[in-house]
Chain A
Amino acid sequence: WLVIAVGLVRAYLAKGSYHSLYYSIEKPLKFFQTGALLEILHCAIGIVPSSVVLTSFQVMSRVFLIWAVTHSVKEVQTEDSVLLFVTAWTITEIIRYSFYTFSLLNHLPYLIKWARYTLFIVLYPMGVSGELLTIYAALPFVRQAGLYSISLPNKYNFSFDYYAFLILIMISYIPLFPQLYFHMIHQRRKVLSRTEEHKKFE
């Protein structure tokens, strides 16, 4: 993810504008975000104590956005909303993976812990906005091309409207986002207050 961050900064400095930065980090973004599927596997086989369901949700939604929306609908790749969520994800992931690495080394600087449990307050809504705006931007092109859609009649008597599906996804953010957000706020209170208590006794 540092690769992506550096890539973004370099491309911005080279081009002078922040449009079309997607292309400069497209490959590492796809590689590293798709690689996060391993995190689901790790939960499933038990080497990581997180919930499989929660992790799946998180990772699948990211992978969906990268492949089923941004990659599939070429017209949205130049949208600013893409840069918005890529930036949010990049900062979040750099902090998150640093947190895990330092924790494993038993040498976690308070700054990293603080950053992980505080910056999400801004980064999470930022990411969600970028994601929603991107899906919204993709809609007319999906409609036009009939992307990933199948209509009747056909011999398997099945139909799927990707346009309607994307709208349903957008609607699902309404109940899901607050739940995840407030879960993080709750975690923050728990984790950061515990550190305060430890500091008092030192």
Chain B
Amino acid sequence: MKHYEVEILDAKTREKLCFLDKVEPQATIAEIKNLFTKTHPQWYPARQSLRLDPKGRSLKDEDVLQKLPVGTTATLYFRDLGAQISWVTVFLTEYAGPLFIYLLFYFRVPFIYGHKYDFTSSRHSVVHLACICHSFHYVKRLLETLFVHRFSHGTMPLRNIFKNCTYYWGFAAWMAYYINHPLYTPPTYGAQQVKLALAIFVICQLGNFSIHMALRDLRPAGSKTRKIPYPTKNPFTWLFLLVSCPNYTYEVGSWIGFAIMTQCLPVALFSLVGFTQMTIWAKGKHRSYLKEFRDYPPLRMPIVPFLL
């Protein structure tokens, strides 16, 4: 069996960083990354980007050396992706924050509102309901992160955790401040409005969960396969007929429900910002589905049926 030689050069300076001889032809990029880490321990595999061309796209961990367009001496270019942090860690941190922060405001912990309000409770039932809904939402997200989601990438750049936490924690504090404020004004249309909003919220939470489960079932444990998602027996998944990313559709719906329930402008603004971001993600996902699958259903829109 002929062995390969692999040399790894820095993509920017073309400096020779590492030379590996006697590499198996069936070696994967993941294995090469591990070998590279041995000589440069500060560059653990998650922060390595190896490519055939300095300006080209990164090779995947599963790519096999033999199948790449290289001779028996392969030249790979290395780019440092910077410090990495696992998706699970980021998700858990960014979701635990709002859960905890909202409760600080709900229980009116000292130094937030005037001292005469410390540890008092709101007399409006909708405020208690809102706390239950908000907390449920983030508990659901935490549990999904731990038990449901299957991530294709293990890590993301470290600076993302600061950016993401600022967003989630900041908005949570801003919303919670007003909803739990002693001068909070309950919804104009009273119990009717709250009931309708609660219905929207619950339906969308169930919908969002159903989609997450359906997506999980598309991908066997430990694999990174991608398949076209289709509606299942669960009626909530029938939204797949009209939309590529119904999880985002349901998520926006949940927050709209919450905004109607609390009649709080900061909540509406949070929903709007979230919708904007999710639309960008949905369009990207939709585009990659179209690129990858010839037979992708043509009726589907990225996030809003028929419109967007």
Please tell me if the beta carbons of B266 and A155 are within 8 angstroms of each other in the complex.
Answer: no
Tell me the smallest distance from the CB of B264 to a CB of chain A, in Å.
4
Tell me the smallest distance from the CB of B243 to a CB of chain A, in Å.
28
Please tell me if B178 contacts chain A, counting CB pairs below 8 Å.
yes
In the complex, what residues of B have CB within 8 A of residue A159's CB? 178
0 or 1 for each of B246-282: is its CB under 8 Å from A? (1 = yes)? 0000000000000000111110000000000000000
List 15 other contacts, CB 8 Å, given A152-B181, A157-B264: A152-B178, A152-B184, A153-B183, A153-B184, A153-B185, A155-B188, A155-B263, A156-B263, A156-B264, A156-B265, A157-B178, A157-B179, A157-B184, A157-B263, A158-B266
| CA gap between A157 and B262 in the complex, in Å | 9
Please tell me if A154 contacts chain B, counting CB pairs below 8 Å.
yes
| CA gap between A33 and B262 in the complex, in Å | 41
Residues on A lying within 8 angstroms of B by beta carbon are 152-159
In the complex, what residues of A have CB within 8 A of residue B181's CB? 152, 157
In the complex, what residues of A have CB within 8 A of residue B183's CB? 152-153
Please tell me if the beta carbons of A158 and B185 are within 8 angstroms of each other in the complex.
Answer: no
Tell me the smallest distance from the CB of A7 to a CB of chain B, in Å.
41
Tell me the smallest distance from the CB of B181 to a CB of chain A, in Å.
6
| CA gap between A193 and B261 in the complex, in Å | 62
Tell me the smallest distance from the CB of B187 to a CB of chain A, in Å.
8
Q: List 12 A-B contacts (CB under 8 A).
A: A152-B181, A152-B183, A152-B184, A153-B183, A156-B264, A156-B265, A157-B179, A157-B184, A157-B263, A158-B178, A158-B264, A159-B178
In the complex, what residues of B have CB within 8 A of residue A156's CB? 263-265
Q: Which 3 A-B pairs have the closest CB atoms?
A: A158-B265, A153-B183, A152-B183
Q: Considering only CB atoms, which chain B residue lies closest to A150 in the complex?
A: B265
Tell me the smallest distance from the CB of A155 to a CB of chain B, in Å.
5
Q: Considering only CB atoms, which chain A residue lies closest to B184 in the complex?
A: A157
| CA gap between A156 and B188 in the complex, in Å | 9
In the complex, what residues of B have CB within 8 A of residue A153's CB? 183-185
| CA gap between A164 and B263 in the complex, in Å | 25
In the complex, what residues of A have CB within 8 A of residue B264's CB? 156-158
In the complex, what residues of A have CB within 8 A of residue B185's CB? 153-155, 157
| CA gap between A159 and B178 in the complex, in Å | 8
| CA gap between A156 and B178 in the complex, in Å | 9
| CA gap between A155 and B193 in the complex, in Å | 14
In the complex, what residues of A have CB within 8 A of residue B266's CB? 157-158
In the complex, what residues of A have CB within 8 A of residue B265's CB? 156-158
| CA gap between A152 and B182 in the complex, in Å | 10
| CA gap between A156 and B179 in the complex, in Å | 10
| CA gap between A155 and B262 in the complex, in Å | 10
In the complex, what residues of B have CB within 8 A of residue A152's CB? 178, 181, 183-184
Q: Considering only CB atoms, which chain A residue lies closest to B179 in the complex?
A: A157
| CA gap between A159 and B266 in the complex, in Å | 9
In the complex, what residues of A have CB within 8 A of residue B178's CB? 152, 157-159
Tell me the smallest distance from the CB of B126 to a CB of chain A, in Å.
11
Tell me the smallest distance from the CB of A181 to a CB of chain B, in Å.
24
In the complex, what residues of B have CB within 8 A of residue A158's CB? 178, 264-266
Tell me the smallest distance from the CB of B190 to a CB of chain A, in Å.
12
In the complex, what residues of A have CB within 8 A of residue B179's CB? 157
Tell me the smallest distance from the CB of A51 to a CB of chain B, in Å.
19
| CA gap between A152 and B265 in the complex, in Å | 12
| CA gap between A156 and B183 in the complex, in Å | 11
Q: Which of B186-231 contact A (CB under 8 A)?
A: 188
In the complex, what residues of B have CB within 8 A of residue A155's CB? 185, 188, 263
| CA gap between A158 and B265 in the complex, in Å | 6
Tell me the smallest distance from the CB of A104 to a CB of chain B, in Å.
31
Tell me the smallest distance from the CB of A126 to a CB of chain B, in Å.
34
| CA gap between A153 and B265 in the complex, in Å | 13
In the complex, what residues of A have CB within 8 A of residue B184's CB? 152-153, 157
